[in-house]
Structure 1
Amino acid sequence: MGITVKDVLQLPVMKPAKIHVGNERIETSQVEWISVIETPVENFVRKNEFVLSTGVGCGDDPDCLEVYVKDVIHSGASALAIATGRYIFKIPDRIQQLALEQNFTIIEIPWNVRFGDILQDVLAEISKEKEFEQKQAESVRQELINCVLNGKGLQEIMTILFQYSKIPVAISDHNKIVRANYDFDQRMIDVLNGVEEGDYELIPTEETPFRDHPLYHYIEEYKIGEQFCYQLTILSNYKKQGYLLFQPRDNEELTWPVLNILEHALTACALYFVKENAIEMTEIRLRDDFLLDLAKSEVEVDKQMLSKAQLLGYELTLPYICLVGSIRFKKKNNQIEKAGEQSVLSSSMNSRNYYIQKEVTHAGDVLKRRTMTTFEDGEVIVYLEADDHPYMETSNQFLDLIERRLNELLAGINISWGISFPKNGVFVFHQGYDQAVTALNIGKQQHEDGNRTFFSDTRMNRLLMALSHEKEIENIVKDTLQPLILYDQKRQADLIHTFIVYNKYNSNVSQTARALMLHRQSLLHRLRNIEHLTGLSLLNADDMFLLELSVRLWKLKKVEEE
Structure 2
Amino acid sequence: MFVTCKNILNLPGLEKMKVVAGKGGLNKVIRWVHVTEVPDVSNWVKGGELLFITGVAIGNNTELLLQFVKDINMRKLAGLVINIGPYIKKTPKEILDFADSVDFPIFELPFEVRLIDITQNICRTIFTEKLEKESMSNFMREIIFEDVNITEEMLNRAVLYGYNENKNYCALVVDIDNFRLYLKENELQDEDTISNIKNRIQETIEYVMYKNNKKCLYTMQSDAFFFMVPMEKENNNIDYIAGTIKNQINKTICFITVSIGIGGVCNHLRGFNKVILEGRKALETTKFYKKNDCIINYKDLGIFRLFFEINNHDEMRKLFNENLLKLKKYDEKNSSNLLQTLIVYLRENRNLGKTAEILYIHRNTIKYRVKRIEEILNCDLKDEEVIFNIKLCIRIGIFLNLIK
- What's the TM-score once normalised by structure 2's chain length? 0.65
- Would you say the 8 A contact 2:9–2:17 is kept in 1? no
Task: Return closer, same or farther for 1:494/1:378 CA change in 2, 3 Å cut-off.
Answer: farther
Task: Return closer, same or farther for 1:358/1:349 CA change in 2, 3 Å cut-off.
Answer: same
- Would you say the 8 A contact 2:169–2:266 is kept in 1? no
Distance 2:10 2:57 in 1: 20
Task: Return closer, same or farther for 1:487/1:411 CA change in 2, 3 Å cut-off.
Answer: farther
* Matched residue, 2:47: none
* Matched residue, 2:224: 379
**Residue 555 of structure 1: how far off its partner (Å):** 0.6
- Would you say the 8 A contact 1:306–1:316 is kept in 2? no
Task: Return closer, same or farther for 1:535/1:201 CA change in 2, 3 Å cut-off.
Answer: farther
Task: Return closer, same or farther for 1:530/1:465 CA change in 2, 3 Å cut-off.
Answer: farther
Superposed CA offset, 1:288-342 (max 9, x none): 221122122343332221333345x3325242111112221xxxxxxxx335865
* Matched residue, 1:338: 179
Which amino acid letter does the alignment assign opposite residue 433 of structure 1?
I
Task: Return closer, same or farther for 1:504/1:390 CA change in 2, 3 Å cut-off.
Answer: farther
Which amino acid letter does the alignment assign opposite residue 203 of structure 2?
K
Q: Tell whether 2:159 aligns with 1:314.
A: no
* Matched residue, 1:365: 210
**Residue 431 of structure 1: how far off its partner (Å):** 1.4
Which amino acid letter does the alignment assign opposite residue 302 of structure 1?
T
* Matched residue, 1:300: 149
1:344-423 to 2 correspondence within 5 Å? 344-345=188-189, 346-389=191-234, 391=236, 394-422=237-265
* Matched residue, 2:329: 486
- Would you say the 8 A contact 1:484–1:496 is kept in 2? yes
Distance 1:224 1:444 in 2: 60
**Residue 553 of structure 1: how far off its partner (Å):** 0.8
* Matched residue, 1:554: 397
Superposed CA offset, 1:519-546 (max 9, x none): 2233234334433433333233333333
1:188-203 to 2 correspondence within 5 Å? 190=20
Q: Tell whether 2:57 aligns with 1:221.
A: yes
1:518 to 361, 366, 372: 361
Task: Return closer, same or farther for 1:522/1:291 CA change in 2, 3 Å cut-off.
Answer: same
Task: Return closer, same or farther for 1:387/1:339 CA change in 2, 3 Å cut-off.
Answer: farther
Distance 2:198 2:130 in 1: 14
Helix, strand or coil at the partner of 1:369 = coil
Distance 1:203 1:459 in 2: 59
Q: Tell whether 2:273 aligns with 1:437.
A: no
Which amino acid letter does the alignment assign opposite residue 151 of structure 2?
D
% of aligned pairs identical? 18
Distance 1:290 1:508 in 2: 53
**Residue 503 of structure 1: how far off its partner (Å):** 0.3
- What's the TM-score once normalised by structure 1's chain length? 0.48
* Matched residue, 1:287: 136
- Would you say the 8 A contact 2:258–2:293 is kept in 1? yes
Superposed CA offset, 1:180-233 (max 9, x none): 9999x968x8569978xxxx99669xxxxxxxxxxxxxx98235765999x9xx
**Residue 466 of structure 1: how far off its partner (Å):** 4.4
Distance 2:284 2:399 in 1: 9
Distance 1:272 1:369 in 2: 26
Superposed CA offset, 1:12-52 (max 9, x none): xxxxxxxxxxxxxxxxxxxxxxxxxxxxxxxxxxxxxxxxx
Distance 2:159 2:142 in 1: 16
Distance 1:349 1:554 in 2: 35
Distance 1:452 1:416 in 2: 6
Distance 1:524 1:468 in 2: 39
Helix, strand or coil at the partner of 2:136 = helix
Task: Return closer, same or farther for 1:319/1:539 CA change in 2, 3 Å cut-off.
Answer: closer
Tell me which of the two structures has the higher relative contact order, counting C-alpha pairs closer than 8 angstroms and 6 or more residues apart.
2
Question: Which protein has the larger Cα radius of gyration, Structure 1 or Structure 2?
Answer: 1
1:197-276 to 2 correspondence within 5 Å? 221-223=57-59, 226=62, 249=86
* Matched residue, 2:101: none
Task: Return closer, same or farther for 1:494/1:293 CA change in 2, 3 Å cut-off.
Answer: farther
* Matched residue, 1:504: 347
- Would you say the 8 A contact 1:481–1:550 is kept in 2? yes
Helix, strand or coil at the partner of 2:293 = coil
**Residue 547 of structure 1: how far off its partner (Å):** 2.0
Distance 1:553 1:395 in 2: 29
**Residue 453 of structure 1: how far off its partner (Å):** 2.5
CA RMSD between the two structures: 4.7
**Residue 499 of structure 1: how far off its partner (Å):** 0.9
Helix, strand or coil at the partner of 2:258 = strand
Which amino acid letter does the alignment assign opposite residue 57 of structure 2?
E
* Matched residue, 1:539: 382
- Would you say the 8 A contact 2:143–2:273 is kept in 1? yes
Which amino acid letter does the alignment assign opposite residue 461 of structure 1?
F
Q: Specify every segment of 5 or more residues in structure 1 that has no aligned partner in the other structure, as ranges.
A: 1-172, 205-218, 232-241, 251-264, 329-336
Distance 1:445 1:362 in 2: 31
